[in-house]
Structure 1
Amino acid sequence: MSTDTYSESRRVCPSIHGNKFDTANRKRAVANIFENVNQDALMRLFQKTGDMKAEERVRSIFSFAHDPEETAKALMALKQRKKDKFLRIAGMVRHFLKPR
């Protein structure tokens, strides 16, 4: 019974077998992760995840494709609007639930 637990831990930990994590073998990062992505495929991906602003998000990404900093700002603005809307709704709910 204890050998099962031991063998499980051996499979998880690579250092037991002498293997080390080698960052040199990792895939290199790219500046623009949307660089080789089809606009329609990205739209479908956002829609499948239930994003109500999929079209606006894709437009933001591709309109600023030449400037990753502007893309990031546009996406953060969408996220902030979503957060603001949530806070407004939460405030209204809190207001209606207050005892009078």
Structure 2
Amino acid sequence: MIQHNAEVCHNIIKALGMKSKNIDIGLVNLKSEFIIKAEENLNAAELLFENKLYNASANRSYYAAFHAAITALSKEGFETERISHEAAQSFFAGELIKRKRNIHLL
């Protein structure tokens, strides 16, 4: 199950097309900070997964997805500076996914 969760998170982040080297200089620091964190966590998750450290990989995958969600919410105008994990999940699912809004992180 943990291996499956890590793969799912990995695929979500990859599908979002996150690459910190493509960050537009004009983005707010908060946005670029979280997209960099998301990419770093994804890279760590991949390394951990390759080394069969599935629990640690799932943890890093979660944080990659969390930071990607914060980036998307911030870009859509949501206040995200002190957002809880629960609120980020709720707003991301309720405001961006259910309403089928296009998510462009870069």
TM-score (norm 1): 0.35
Greater relative CO (CA pairs within 8 A, separation 6+): 2
Report which of the two structures shows the higher radius of gyration computed on alpha carbons.
1
